C-alpha cells in the first residue's frame, strides 16, 4: 500500500471512530467531574458543563483536575489545541498521583510556529522515576477540530491512543525489575502554561504575547473504571492490548510520525539503554 493510501485509510478510520464516540458516548459534566486548580476566570466551564476552556495570557495560565481518583481504567477527552502561533505554550493532559514517589501518565502538546506541526510529548513515571519520553508529530492539524486523546491503563500495560489509534504502549515488566504504576490512584489533570524556555525548538522560539490569550478547549470527557461500567464494558479495557490491526497502526504511527524515542537515544544512555527498551515494543 502506498504511503498516501495509508494516510487516507487511517484518516478515514480516525474520523469514523471520533464521530461514533461523539454520537454514542454520553459526555461527562465538567461541573460535576472537575475542579479549577489555578488561573481564576481564565478557566471557564460553558454550555451547562459540556465545554471547558483554558486560557493563557502573560500573567498566568490555567488548569483543572478531576474530583475523583482512578486506579486503572480508560480515560477519554476531546481536546482542540491552541491555534495559530502557539510557540512557547504547553497544553498538558495527564494522570498523576501525589508525593515524591508519584506515578504519572503524560500527554503534553508543545506549541508551534504557525504552519509548523505540534509536538505530542508522552512520558510514564513509576515510583517517582520518569525519563521515558516519546514524541510524535500528528497526522492532522489538532487546532482545527476536536480530537480524542485516550489513556488505557490496566494491570498489564498502558496504551496511549489518538482518535482510537494506538501510538504508544508501556508494558508491565516488573518481572525484569521495571516499576509499573499499579497501586497509587491518580487524578486527571490538565493545564495550559508558558514554557518558552524549552517547549518550542528547545527554547529557541519564545512566546509571542501579542497573540494572547491562547485558548485550549475540552469536551466529551469519559472515564471507564470498575465503578462506572458494567462487567462487559469493564472487560474491554481491563484486558485491552493490541491485536494485529492495532500493531499495524502503531507501527505506522511510530515509523511515520515519531520524532524522539528515549529507547533510541544512545547518547543519553551511554552505559546502556533502559532494560525495558530491550523488550518487544508492542
Residues designated as active site: 104, 108
42: left (phi over 0), alpha (psi -120 to 50) or beta: alpha
Give yes or no for a contact between 75 and 177, defined as CB atoms under 8 angstroms apart.
no
Give yes or no for a contact between 72 and 157, defined as CB atoms under 8 angstroms apart.
no
Compute, in degrees rounded to 10, the torsion defined by CA atoms 245, 247, 253, 258. Answer: 180
Q: How far apart are CA 119 and CA 136, in angstroms?
A: 6
Alpha helices of the chain — where are they, by DSSP H?
Answer: 3-24, 30-33, 231-238, 244-257
Which of 64, 65, 113, 124 lies closest to 89, judged by CA?
Answer: 113
Amino acid at each position: 500500500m502506498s504511503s498516501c493510501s495509508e494516510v487516507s485509510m487511517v484518516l478515514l478510520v480516525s474520523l469514523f471512530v471520533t464521530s461514533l464516540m461523539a454520537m454514542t458516548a454520553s459526555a461527562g459534566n465538567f461541573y460535576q467531574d472537575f475542579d479549577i486548580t489555578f488561573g481564576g476566570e481564565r478557566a471557564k466551564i460553558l454550555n451547562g458543563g459540556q465545554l471547558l476552556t483554558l486560557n493563557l495570557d502573560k500573567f498566568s495560565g490555567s488548569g483543572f483536575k478531576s474530583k475523583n481518583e482512578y486506579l486503572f481504567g480508560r480515560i477519554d477527552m476531546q481536546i482542540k489545541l491552541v491555534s495559530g502561533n502557539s510557540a512557547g505554550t504547553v497544553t498538558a493532559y495527564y494522570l498523576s498521583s501525589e508525593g515524591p514517589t508519584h506515578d504519572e501518565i503524560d500527554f503534553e502538546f508543545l506549541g508551534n510556529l504557525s504552519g509548523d506541526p505540534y509536538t505530542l510529548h508522552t512520558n510514564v513515571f513509576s515510583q517517582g522515576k520518569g525519563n521515558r519520553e516519546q514524541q510524535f508529530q500528528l497526522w492532522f492539524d489538532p487546532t482545527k477540530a476536536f480530537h480524542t486523546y485516550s489513556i488505557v491503563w490496566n494491570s498489564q500495560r498502558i496504551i496511549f491512543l489518538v482518535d482510537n489509534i494506538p501510538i504508544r504502549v508501556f508494558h508491565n515488566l516488573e518481572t525484569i525489575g521495571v516499576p509499573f504504576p499499579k497501586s497509587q490512584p491518580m487524578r486527571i489533570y490538565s493545564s495550559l502554561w508558558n514554557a518558552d524556555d524549552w517547549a518550542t525548538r528547545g527554547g529557541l522560539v519564545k512566546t509571542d504575547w501579542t497573540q494572547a490569550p491562547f485558548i485550549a478547549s475540552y469536551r466529551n470527557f469519559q472515564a471507564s473504571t470498575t465503578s462506572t461500567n458494567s462487567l462487559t464494558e469493564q472487560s474491554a479495557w481491563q484486558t485491552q492490548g493490541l491485536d494485529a490491526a492495532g500493531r499495524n497502526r502503531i507501527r505506522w504511527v511510530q515509523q511515520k510520525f515519531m520524532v524522539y524515542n528515549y529507547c533510541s537515544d544512545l547518547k543519553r544512555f551511554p552505559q546502556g539503554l533502559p532494560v525495558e527498551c530491550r523488550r518487544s515494543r508492542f
